[in-house]
Amino acid sequence: MTHHDTTPSPHSDLANRPIAVVTGGSAGLGRALVAALAADGWQVITDGRDADRLRAAADAIRAGLPGARITALPGDVTDSEHRAALRAAVEDHGRLDLLVNNASVLGPASGEHRYRRLDQVTPADLQHVWRHNVGAPLVLTSLLLGHLVAGHGTLLSLSSDAAVEHYPGWGLYSASKAGLDHLTATFAAENPEITAYAVDPGDMRTALHQQWFPDQDISDRPLPEAVVPHLIGLLASRPPSGRYRATDLPTATTTRRPSAQEA
């Protein structure tokens, strides 16, 4: 289902606002990043598989940020019609400055636990994880690449320490994140007009992280809102393309680069 849900803005400078696509914006880090970008003046196109949760998230952000420009499109990034809807939304805006590949799944769709030994992974499990974490970001980025190149934009893929570390039971997820890292680096190598980052956000207090540790109290982990200033700092400082850990990045509350007088 395609659903455009935008809020009229009192601002007259819409043509000057940067445009971002953030997948998986209904919860966790995606939702926090959508809110931060909207607060910084971005027009944000976002999506989520749960239409009600996506709508509630977008409405809550708008309630706290009158004039926020958020286009919420319920759907799954593995669905070709939904990806076409995202591209249509970008074309409606006329350009794209930032694509964030955030939506992902943790592990196999079947079974009681999301973690599983590699010798117990089924072809269906492999397809489920690979389509969400590697295939969809690859195809969506390719669909929107022309806009990113034209605007010398930024590609940001949310990675994990699991992309470089090896945890028993998490091999499928880890391999998918390593694959996403490589795709992101290759897009950068093939398209010098854009800047591309794979960022490990670190542990966070999210529903996804709770799935990793279903029997543990994760209240000591930072909220996603604590990671967002590092991502905003990345966009503001725009270092060379590469893989980064969020904790190694500077923090910022705006993507606007300081002027020579402010620096």
Rounded (10°) angle between helices 80-93 and 136-150:
10
Q: Where are the alpha helices (DSSP H) in the chain?
A: 28-39, 51-64, 80-93, 123-130, 136-150, 171-190, 207-212, 224-237
173 is catalytic: yes
Of 115, 167, 173, 197, which residue is the catalytic one?
173
Written as one letter, the residue type at 73 is L
Taking residue 182's Cβ as centre, other Cβ atoms within 10 Å add up to 14
CA pair distance 156, 144, nearest whole angstrom = 13
The residues facing 44 across adjacent strands are 20, 70
CB distance 11 to 66 below 8 Å: no
> How does DSSP classify residue 222?
P
Catalytic residues: 173
